[in-house]
Each structure stands twice: as C-alpha cells, then as structure tokens.
Amino acid sequence: MYAWCQDMPGVSAEDYAELMANLGGAEKEAAGLVVHVAGPVTGGFRIVNVWESKDAADRFHRDVIQPAVARVHGHHEPDVPAGFRIFDVTA
C-alpha cells in the first residue's frame, strides 16, 4: 500500500469544495484509492490518501488532479507537489 499526506497552507474548505466539484466525482471511481481523508487544520487544509500502489496514486494525480487544479487555478501542479510527505505503508 502507498499513502501520502498534503498540508495546504491558506487553503479553505471552500477552496477544497471547488476542487472536488471540478473532479466531477472522479475520486469516487479512482482505481486503487483505498481511503481519502480531508479536513481543515490550523492555517489551511490537510489531505491524506491511501492507495493500493504508488502507480495508482501517480496516475490519478497526473490524469485527474493536475487537470482539475489547472481548471480551478489556471496552472498545473508539479509531478510531485511541494509540501507532500510521501511514504510507503504496510497494512
């Protein structure tokens, strides 16, 4: 299994909701996504995802998240966004 955690300083619940609306439900059909957890933290927003594999996470980020961020914010995130703490986990 594979997991990542992203802290997003300055991002609000409304910003998160806008991005999720742009995904159009794709996260519910994401191949290999085990669990998605998100919520506000002091000064921003945190997302934690657990995937069946790093490849599944990378594919979803490249094919779904980056285009959605570009639609919402007018730019693409880098392949491995700054601020990610990426780690392997064992179930």
CATH number of residue 72's parent domain:
3.30.70.100
The tally of domains found in the chain comes to 1
Closest Cα to residue 47, out of 81, 91, 16? Answer: 16
**pTM of the shown model:** 0.77
By CB atoms closer than 10 A (0-12, 13-18, 19+), residue 29 is: exposed
pLDDT in tens, 80-91: 444 345 566 665
Would you write out the chain's pLDDT as a tens digit for each of its 91 residues?
788 888 889 989 999 999 899 888 898 999 999 999 999 999 999 998 888 888 898 899 889 988 888 888 776 554 444 434 556 666 5
Q: Structural domain of residue 69, as residue ranges?
A: 2-88
